[in-house]
């Protein structure tokens, strides 16, 4: 299937690892020109080199999306370099979950800045450019915990719930501009973050993933490319009548649709 992404420009935050990296590589393979943002220059450049080696066009931008000035610079560099902006994937984020009484105001604020306000600021900066193209796509990465919070799941579950609400609100507000806004609510996926967790626990990544997979109906954790494929669908011509939707990509883990 031709996804209709040739020469579209896609901006992906958290693009140096996991789902962000897989999404950038897939969109580039489908003909999009991709802008990837992350805080660490080395991993970001590694992804850019991989995309270029496969024949794709990419602009790596070192940026901290919790900083408003970095967000403004990121969007401007994307538009200056490629001349337009069509797609935004708000993917930056980490897992942060603990017992409610142990979570300080500082940790709450850090989580809100990274997972909610970053999406707000990137989307706000991008919207004039999407509108200029006659429409566009925004995909917010959230989690199934935002729909069905568990005990000891804050601040992530609350921040992700806000991201889901943001998605629905923006989808209503910008439908008239043909700007489609959706969210992919993910479960557990293979990533560098998970492998660092395994190292701290003194087990191999394989052992770590096998244990996590016991709680997934499909019996395994997800591969980053599996989430990237759903994102690619949502930003493609094939999803031209899909907005305000939340799609669970979690191997069947969530108890709610």
Are 84 and 207 in a shared domain? no
Separation between Cα atoms, residue 155 and residue 166, nearest integer Å? 17
Domain membership flag for residue 256: no
Q: What is the pLDDT of residue 2?
A: 83
Are 200 and 101 in a shared domain? no
Mean pLDDT of the 53-61 span:
98
Are 67 and 107 in a shared domain? yes
Q: What is the pLDDT of residue 105?
A: 98
> Which one, of 241, 240, 134, lies nearest residue 177 by Cα?
134
Are 61 and 124 in a shared domain? yes
Are 113 and 215 in a shared domain? no
Q: Give yes or no for a contact between 105 and 156, defined as CB atoms under 8 angstroms apart.
A: no
Are 210 and 86 in a shared domain? no
Q: 174-211: per-residue pLDDT in tens?
A: 999 999 999 999 999 999 889 999 999 999 999 999 99
Mean pLDDT of the 64-93 span:
98
In three-state secondary structure terms, 158 is helix
Are 111 and 63 in a shared domain? yes
Angle at alpha carbon of residue 115, lines to 169 and 72, rounded to 5°: 85
Domain membership flag for residue 213: yes
Q: What is the pLDDT of residue 165?
A: 98
CATH of residue 52:
3.40.50.720
Q: Please tell me the total count of domains within the chain.
A: 2
Are 114 and 217 in a shared domain? no
Domain membership flag for residue 2: no
Are 89 and 210 in a shared domain? no
Confidence class of residue 147 from pLDDT cuts 50, 70 and 90? Answer: very high
Domain membership flag for residue 3: no
Q: Is the pLDDT of residue 113 over 80?
A: yes
Are 76 and 107 in a shared domain? yes
The rounded mean pLDDT for the chain is 97
Q: What is the pLDDT of residue 97?
A: 95
Are 67 and 130 in a shared domain? yes
**Structural Rg of the chain based on CA atoms:** 17
Domain membership flag for residue 257: no
Are 105 and 71 in a shared domain? yes
Burial of residue 201 (CB within 10 Å: 0-12, 13-18, 19+) is exposed
Separation between Cα atoms, residue 242 and residue 215, nearest integer Å? 30
Strand partners, 247: 184
**206 lies in which domain range?**
192-221
Separation between Cα atoms, residue 141 and residue 99, nearest integer Å? 23
> Which one, of 95, 90, 86, 254, lies nearest residue 183 by Cα?
90
Domain membership flag for residue 162: yes
Give the number of other Cβ atoms within 10 Å of residue 19's Cβ.
29
Domain membership flag for residue 170: yes
Q: In this structure, are strands 97-98 and 154-155 parallel, antiparallel, or unpaired?
A: antiparallel
In three-state secondary structure terms, 150 is coil
């Amino acid at each position: 299937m031709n996804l209709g992404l040739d020469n579209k420009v896609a901006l992906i935050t958290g693009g140096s690892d996991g789902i962000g990296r897989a999404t950038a590589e897939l969109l580039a393979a489908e003909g999009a020109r991709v802008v990837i943002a992350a805080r660490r220059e080395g991993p970001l450049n590694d992804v850019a080199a991989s995309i270029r080696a496969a024949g794709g066009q990419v602009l790596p931008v070192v940026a901290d999306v919790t900083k408003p000035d970095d967000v403004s610079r990121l969007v401007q560099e994307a538009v200056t370099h490629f001349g337009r902006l069509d797609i935004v994937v708000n993917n930056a984020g980490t897992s942060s979950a603990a017992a409610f009484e142990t979570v300080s105001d500082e940790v709450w604020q850090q989580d809100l800045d990274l997972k909610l306000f970053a999406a707000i600021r990137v989307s706000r900066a991008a919207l004039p450019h999407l509108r200029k193209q006659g429409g566009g796509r925004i995909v917010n990465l959230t989690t199934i915990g935002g729909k069905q919070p568990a005990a000891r799941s804050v601040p992530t579950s609350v921040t992700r719930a806000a991201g889901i609400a943001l998605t629905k609100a923006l989808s209503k507000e910008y439908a008239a501009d043909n700007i489609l806004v959706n969210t992919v609510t993910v479960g557990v996926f293979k990533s560098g973050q998970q492998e660092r967790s395994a190292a701290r626990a003194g087990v191999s990544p394989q052992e770590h993933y096998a244990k996590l997979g016991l709680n997934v109906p499909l019996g395994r954790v997800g591969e980053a490319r599996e989430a990237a494929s759903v994102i690619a669908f949502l930003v493609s011509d094939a999803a031209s009548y899909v907005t305000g939707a939340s799609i669970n990509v979690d191997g069947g883990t969530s108890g709610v649709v």
